[in-house]
Amino acid sequence: MAGVKVYTTESCPYCRMVETFFRKHGVEYEHVDVGKDREAAREMIRVSGQRGVPVTVFGDEVIVGFDTKRLKELFGTPIGKAVYDVAIVGAGPAGLTAAVYSARKLLKTVVIAENIGGQAAWSWAIENYMGFSTISGGELLHKFEEQVRGLDVRLELDSVRSIEREDDSFVVRMVTENVYRCRTVILASGKEPRRLGLPGEDRLMGRGVSICAICDAPLFRDKPVAVVGGGNAALQTAIEMKKFARSVVLVARSALRCDEVYVARAEEAGIRTFLNHEVTELHGEAALTGITIRDHETGEETALDVDGLFLAIGLVPNTRFLGDLVALNERNEILIDENGHTNVPGIFAAGDATCVKAKQIIVAAGDGAKAALSAHEYLESERGEEQTVCA
């Protein structure tokens, strides 16, 4: 299809999702890397008003981000009516590992996710995954994805609206109105970035405010930026942003809660840090022009002129779509046992959306394997009961 242009950056996982979608549906498109081409970046901002990627332009249509609903409305193809042995919701380390183990058990498998990689794909560098001394999140998850695509697994880029039990199967309904039927479900929906909750945040998202530094960093070359947060992700983002931005300010609500190695690196990079401060106001109409921060101890407010604000203030479980389908704890995490069982027979869970304490890639991958093995065991027991009844 002529006339489709996708503005991307090299490290953006959501950009890769858009391009994967187009390749899957046989849509021809023009790839434009705005991280390397400043004139193209200015063109993207002029056309869309966005300072974040991906942006897709098709005629008069401008699609911001990986908008599965709109992309499927314009370019999608109908799905079949097959009944799957297992539907895996989420394609991070837990979901992709579950897919590998399900495929090896010869289960008819579909993976449904808004993006491939989850929050792990946003990591600048991973230094604690066995087999790699250092690897970026995008590179590691690309290896996960390659392994899954080499198996008999259907991978659908879509967003789940609800899951319901109907007779002896489950019905997974999507925001695009697509429907998948399956005999078991593995929930591996992970977490999503926490927002500040300030007036103007939604309006300025993608117009200076960003939740994906690895995606948008090249668009803030030689500009002043701020990073909000005090954990490993925030420090790592601030350190990496020094490679692009003219200046970097770090704003943390309390003392830093990161590994000491990041504190030393931030000091070496000359990052200005405001501890015990919070962002209280965002400035700008069409784009971010600055922020106001307040000192918790003195109440003093400081105005900072920044063109970019990168949020790294934690994550919340992506479980709202579940309603009361399965039991959750007070943090809205899915309650599971040591083998990935939820309180509902036939529904299993793994990864950062669950109550498992250690939120680590390697733990999520292992729990994804356990959930798939438990789903296989459940299906085998169900088949055994069917054969006994038939006999």
Q: Annotated catalytic sites, by residue?
A: 212, 215-216
Peptide bond into 93 cis (omega under 30): no
Q: Report yes or no: 275 and 254 within 8 Å, Cβ to Cβ.
A: yes
Q: Report yes or no: 228 and 128 within 8 Å, Cβ to Cβ.
A: no
